[in-house]
Structure 1
Amino acid sequence: MIITASNDLNEETIDALNKQGHEVDAFGIGTYLVTCIPRLLLAGIHSMQKTMFRLYGKEGYPLVDIMIRESEPSPKAGERILCRHPFLESKRAYVVPQHVEELLQCYWPGTSSMFIGSF
Protein backbone atom coordinates (compact mmCIF):
# COMPACT_ATOMS: atom_id res chain seq x y z
CA MET A 1 0.00 0.00 0.00
CA ILE A 2 1.26 3.49 -0.85
CA ILE A 3 0.63 6.18 1.77
CA THR A 4 0.19 9.80 0.66
CA ALA A 5 -0.12 12.66 3.14
CA SER A 6 -1.61 16.07 2.34
CA ASN A 7 -3.71 18.90 3.86
CA ASP A 8 -1.81 22.10 4.69
CA LEU A 9 1.59 20.42 4.92
CA ASN A 10 4.61 22.65 5.32
CA GLU A 11 8.34 22.15 5.78
CA GLU A 12 8.09 22.03 9.60
CA THR A 13 5.35 19.38 9.56
CA ILE A 14 7.25 17.18 7.11
CA ASP A 15 10.46 17.60 9.15
CA ALA A 16 8.58 16.57 12.32
CA LEU A 17 7.16 13.50 10.54
CA ASN A 18 10.66 12.57 9.32
CA LYS A 19 12.02 12.79 12.87
CA GLN A 20 9.19 10.50 14.06
CA GLY A 21 10.11 7.85 11.49
CA HIS A 22 6.92 8.07 9.41
CA GLU A 23 5.96 5.55 6.72
CA VAL A 24 4.61 8.11 4.24
CA ASP A 25 5.58 7.47 0.59
CA ALA A 26 4.51 10.81 -0.90
CA PHE A 27 3.50 14.28 0.27
CA GLY A 28 0.89 16.46 -1.46
CA ILE A 29 1.91 20.09 -0.96
CA GLY A 30 -0.27 22.84 -2.40
CA THR A 31 -1.27 25.48 0.14
CA TYR A 32 2.31 26.31 1.10
CA LEU A 33 3.81 26.53 -2.38
CA VAL A 34 5.59 29.80 -3.01
CA THR A 35 3.26 32.55 -4.20
CA CYS A 36 4.07 36.14 -5.01
CA ILE A 37 2.44 39.42 -4.06
CA PRO A 38 0.50 41.13 -5.62
CA ARG A 39 -0.05 37.98 -7.66
CA LEU A 40 -1.27 36.00 -4.65
CA LEU A 41 -3.42 32.91 -5.03
CA LEU A 42 -5.36 31.92 -1.94
CA ALA A 43 -6.02 28.21 -1.55
CA GLY A 44 -9.47 27.12 -2.63
CA ILE A 45 -11.54 26.69 -5.74
CA HIS A 46 -12.46 29.90 -7.50
CA SER A 47 -14.43 30.51 -10.66
CA MET A 48 -11.73 32.89 -11.97
CA GLN A 49 -9.24 31.55 -14.46
CA LYS A 50 -5.62 31.41 -13.31
CA THR A 51 -2.33 31.28 -15.15
CA MET A 52 0.82 29.69 -13.74
CA PHE A 53 4.39 30.72 -14.44
CA ARG A 54 7.85 29.45 -13.51
CA LEU A 55 10.46 32.18 -12.96
CA TYR A 56 14.14 31.39 -13.62
CA GLY A 57 17.29 33.07 -12.26
CA LYS A 58 20.57 34.07 -13.90
CA GLU A 59 22.03 30.56 -13.74
CA GLY A 60 18.97 29.07 -15.44
CA TYR A 61 17.57 27.40 -12.32
CA PRO A 62 13.90 27.82 -11.32
CA LEU A 63 13.40 30.39 -8.55
CA VAL A 64 9.67 30.23 -7.92
CA ASP A 65 6.33 29.16 -9.41
CA ILE A 66 3.50 31.68 -9.24
CA MET A 67 -0.21 31.67 -10.05
CA ILE A 68 -1.99 34.83 -11.10
CA ARG A 69 -5.47 35.71 -12.28
CA GLU A 70 -5.85 35.61 -16.04
CA SER A 71 -6.83 39.31 -15.89
CA GLU A 72 -3.52 40.33 -14.25
CA PRO A 73 -0.41 41.25 -16.24
CA SER A 74 1.98 38.36 -16.82
CA PRO A 75 5.40 38.48 -15.17
CA LYS A 76 8.20 39.59 -17.47
CA ALA A 77 11.92 38.85 -17.55
CA GLY A 78 13.88 41.60 -15.85
CA GLU A 79 10.84 42.91 -13.90
CA ARG A 80 11.06 42.84 -10.09
CA ILE A 81 8.31 40.90 -8.26
CA LEU A 82 7.75 40.95 -4.48
CA CYS A 83 7.39 37.39 -3.17
CA ARG A 84 6.40 35.84 0.13
CA HIS A 85 8.44 33.18 1.89
CA PRO A 86 6.68 29.83 1.36
CA PHE A 87 6.45 29.03 5.09
CA LEU A 88 6.93 32.30 7.00
CA GLU A 89 4.27 34.79 5.93
CA SER A 90 6.06 37.80 7.46
CA LYS A 91 9.17 37.35 5.26
CA ARG A 92 9.34 38.97 1.82
CA ALA A 93 11.92 39.09 -0.97
CA TYR A 94 12.12 40.58 -4.44
CA VAL A 95 12.71 38.24 -7.37
CA VAL A 96 13.98 39.44 -10.75
CA PRO A 97 13.49 36.59 -13.23
CA GLN A 98 15.81 36.27 -16.19
CA HIS A 99 13.37 33.95 -17.98
CA VAL A 100 9.61 33.38 -17.53
CA GLU A 101 7.84 30.18 -18.61
CA GLU A 102 4.05 29.72 -18.72
CA LEU A 103 3.24 26.31 -17.23
CA LEU A 104 -0.48 25.78 -17.84
CA GLN A 105 -2.31 25.38 -21.11
CA CYS A 106 -6.11 25.74 -21.16
CA TYR A 107 -7.80 23.08 -23.28
CA TRP A 108 -11.46 23.63 -22.34
CA PRO A 109 -12.20 27.24 -21.37
CA GLY A 110 -15.14 27.95 -19.07
CA THR A 111 -16.03 27.51 -15.43
CA SER A 112 -14.79 23.93 -15.28
CA SER A 113 -11.62 24.21 -17.37
CA MET A 114 -9.08 21.44 -17.63
CA PHE A 115 -5.47 22.51 -17.43
CA ILE A 116 -2.49 20.41 -18.29
CA GLY A 117 0.94 21.56 -17.23
CA SER A 118 4.24 20.56 -15.74
CA PHE A 119 4.72 20.92 -12.00
Structure 2
Amino acid sequence: MNQATLMITICMLIPTVVLVAAWVLAARSTEDREKSTPFECGFDPKNTARIPFSLRFFLLAIIFIVFDIEIVLLMPIPTMYMSSYIPQIMVTYIVFIIVLIMGLIHEWNEGSLDWSA
Protein backbone atom coordinates (compact mmCIF):
# COMPACT_ATOMS: atom_id res chain seq x y z
CA MET A 1 0.00 0.00 0.00
CA ASN A 2 2.86 2.34 0.75
CA GLN A 3 4.36 1.85 -2.72
CA ALA A 4 1.02 2.66 -4.39
CA THR A 5 0.80 5.91 -2.44
CA LEU A 6 4.32 6.84 -3.49
CA MET A 7 3.54 6.16 -7.16
CA ILE A 8 0.33 8.22 -7.03
CA THR A 9 2.22 11.09 -5.40
CA ILE A 10 4.93 10.99 -8.08
CA CYS A 11 2.30 10.77 -10.84
CA MET A 12 0.59 13.85 -9.46
CA LEU A 13 3.78 15.77 -8.72
CA ILE A 14 5.47 15.54 -12.14
CA PRO A 15 2.56 16.98 -14.21
CA THR A 16 2.04 19.70 -11.60
CA VAL A 17 5.71 20.74 -11.80
CA VAL A 18 5.57 20.76 -15.61
CA LEU A 19 2.38 22.85 -15.65
CA VAL A 20 3.75 25.38 -13.17
CA ALA A 21 7.02 25.64 -15.12
CA ALA A 22 5.13 26.17 -18.38
CA TRP A 23 2.94 28.82 -16.77
CA VAL A 24 5.96 30.69 -15.38
CA LEU A 25 7.83 30.55 -18.70
CA ALA A 26 4.77 31.67 -20.66
CA ALA A 27 4.24 34.64 -18.35
CA ARG A 28 7.79 35.83 -18.97
CA SER A 29 7.54 35.70 -22.74
CA THR A 30 4.26 37.59 -23.23
CA GLU A 31 6.02 40.96 -23.12
CA ASP A 32 8.93 39.91 -25.30
CA ARG A 33 10.37 42.68 -27.48
CA GLU A 34 10.66 40.37 -30.49
CA LYS A 35 7.00 39.44 -30.35
CA SER A 36 5.89 43.05 -30.64
CA THR A 37 7.91 43.70 -33.83
CA PRO A 38 6.86 42.68 -37.36
CA PHE A 39 7.95 39.18 -38.12
CA GLU A 40 9.94 37.83 -41.04
CA CYS A 41 7.37 38.21 -43.80
CA GLY A 42 6.88 41.90 -43.04
CA PHE A 43 3.27 41.84 -41.84
CA ASP A 44 2.62 43.99 -38.81
CA PRO A 45 1.10 41.83 -36.05
CA LYS A 46 -0.78 44.79 -34.54
CA ASN A 47 -2.86 45.51 -37.64
CA THR A 48 -5.57 43.45 -39.27
CA ALA A 49 -4.72 40.09 -40.80
CA ARG A 50 -6.80 40.91 -43.87
CA ILE A 51 -3.95 42.45 -45.82
CA PRO A 52 -4.49 42.12 -49.59
CA PHE A 53 -2.04 39.93 -51.45
CA SER A 54 -1.48 39.07 -55.08
CA LEU A 55 -4.32 36.86 -56.25
CA ARG A 56 -2.39 36.11 -59.44
CA PHE A 57 0.49 34.72 -57.40
CA PHE A 58 -1.94 32.56 -55.40
CA LEU A 59 -3.54 31.17 -58.57
CA LEU A 60 -0.13 30.43 -60.07
CA ALA A 61 0.87 28.61 -56.88
CA ILE A 62 -2.31 26.51 -57.02
CA ILE A 63 -1.67 25.69 -60.69
CA PHE A 64 1.89 24.67 -59.81
CA ILE A 65 0.67 22.37 -57.03
CA VAL A 66 -1.93 20.73 -59.28
CA PHE A 67 0.53 20.11 -62.12
CA ASP A 68 3.17 18.93 -59.65
CA ILE A 69 0.76 16.31 -58.26
CA GLU A 70 -0.11 15.23 -61.78
CA ILE A 71 3.57 14.73 -62.58
CA VAL A 72 3.92 12.58 -59.47
CA LEU A 73 0.99 10.51 -60.72
CA LEU A 74 2.70 10.10 -64.11
CA MET A 75 6.06 8.94 -62.78
CA PRO A 76 5.25 5.24 -62.15
CA ILE A 77 3.60 4.73 -65.54
CA PRO A 78 6.79 3.83 -67.51
CA THR A 79 7.73 1.27 -64.86
CA MET A 80 4.23 -0.23 -64.96
CA TYR A 81 4.38 -0.33 -68.76
CA MET A 82 7.79 -2.04 -68.76
CA SER A 83 6.84 -4.64 -66.15
CA SER A 84 3.58 -5.73 -67.78
CA TYR A 85 2.51 -4.94 -71.30
CA ILE A 86 -1.17 -4.09 -70.99
CA PRO A 87 -2.62 -1.86 -73.72
CA GLN A 88 -5.04 -0.23 -71.28
CA ILE A 89 -2.06 1.28 -69.39
CA MET A 90 -0.87 3.06 -72.52
CA VAL A 91 -4.39 4.24 -73.41
CA THR A 92 -4.89 5.59 -69.87
CA TYR A 93 -1.48 7.26 -70.02
CA ILE A 94 -2.27 8.96 -73.34
CA VAL A 95 -5.72 10.13 -72.15
CA PHE A 96 -4.17 11.55 -68.97
CA ILE A 97 -1.50 13.40 -70.98
CA ILE A 98 -4.17 14.80 -73.30
CA VAL A 99 -6.20 16.06 -70.31
CA LEU A 100 -3.05 17.68 -68.89
CA ILE A 101 -2.22 19.39 -72.18
CA MET A 102 -5.81 20.62 -72.55
CA GLY A 103 -5.66 22.04 -69.00
CA LEU A 104 -2.37 23.77 -69.76
CA ILE A 105 -3.77 25.27 -72.97
CA HIS A 106 -6.86 26.47 -71.07
CA GLU A 107 -4.73 28.13 -68.38
CA TRP A 108 -2.56 29.71 -71.04
CA ASN A 109 -5.56 31.08 -72.99
CA GLU A 110 -7.15 32.32 -69.76
CA GLY A 111 -4.01 34.31 -69.01
CA SER A 112 -3.24 32.74 -65.64
CA LEU A 113 0.35 32.03 -66.69
CA ASP A 114 1.02 35.59 -67.92
CA TRP A 115 2.79 37.75 -65.35
CA SER A 116 3.07 40.87 -67.49
CA ALA A 117 -0.60 41.84 -67.25
Could you tell me the TM-score, scaled by structure 1's length? 0.18
Compare CA radii of gyration and give the structure with the larger one. Answer: 2
- Higher share in strand: 1
- Higher share in helix: 2
Could you tell me the TM-score, scaled by structure 2's length? 0.18
Bigger RCO (CA 8 Å, 6+ sep): 1
